[in-house]
Amino acid sequence: MAMKSVNSALRGATRGLAACCVVLLSACAGNNTKPESPAVAEAGVLQPDSSQPQLMATEGYLPQQKKDAQGKWLSYDAIKNPYLANKSQVNKGSVLLFIEAQKAWRDEDYTTVEQKLNVIVNNDKALSGPWVMRARLSLQREQYEKAEEQLLKALALNSENVNAYPLLAQVQRLQGKFFHAQNTLARALTLWPDFPEAHYNLALLYDAYLNKEVAAQQHLEAYLFLEKEVEPAVYAWLKDIASRTGVQQSSVGKQTNPSEFLRQADVLLANE
């Protein structure tokens, strides 16, 4: 039942890769040349050869609203994507080539996509973004190991490129590296706690692969709290998880009982 609900929800949540492509070159110059911290390395986030790394905790990144002195809920100001705040200058020629690569992608001319990206990478070796799009191309060709290598390269150039993390987690998951995928998404949340796509993909991992249904419910509620446009299939998935966990209390946003998200799901699905 879990996998059926997940598959249904996945069909309605494909915006992540497209959004990644849109912002790929907006702030992708790699100023971060320092190595990963020992804690991150030990956790296996960027260590693809470790067979079963220790899982990083993720519950500390759930968005929660607070109350004022009178007990009224305060509004929640979601943290913005820090990657977009990067003001590094990108060579205009690289930008134009990337726009051409995007157009070729839309036209399904993947040979041209590869050619354009190769020129960008050869001309501007400091850019992280083109390696992400290279990885998307490898993923489309089901070359998962190659895609993983390319994403690790992107993060070596700029570990703050949050757009690379969900894609890296996806290719790790497709290779059966579920612990690595979880840690990759946890690392993304250390950079951007209010990253909707990271919460969504954690819910997927926890529910379908790691048998952590309560954590799946928490992160799916986080996604619903942070994402403005949500397909009904995601609410149906939440209802399915809650039916298995028996958890009605919200751990995200306004911590209410029953969960405001489950109430929304009841209303939405009743009108379907």
Buried b (16+ CB within 10 A) or exposed e, 242-272: beeeebeebbbbbbeeebbbbeebeeeeeee
Residue 29 φ then ψ, to 5°: -65, 130
89-103 tens-digit pLDDT? 788 899 999 999 999
* Whole-angstrom distance, CA of residue 220 vs CA of residue 33: 34
CA neighbours within 13 Å on the CB side: how many for 63? 24
Task: Provide the pLDDT for residue 272.
Answer: 74
Asked whether residue 106 carries a pLDDT value surpassing 80, the answer given is yes
Q: Which CATH architecture has domain 16-90+127-211?
A: Alpha Horseshoe (1.25)
Q: Where are the domains of the chain?
A: 16-90+127-211
Neighbours of 156 (CB within 10 A): 16
Percent over 70 (pLDDT), the chain: 81
pLDDT in tens, 144-164: 999 999 999 999 999 999 999
Q: With bands split at pLDDT 50, 70 and 90, how would you rate the model's confidence at 263? A: very high
Q: For the chain, what percent of residues have pLDDT higher than 90?
A: 71
| pTM confidence score | 0.83
pLDDT surpasses 50 at 111: yes
pLDDT tens profile 20-65:
333 445 434 444 433 333 333 333 445 555 678 899 999 999 999 9
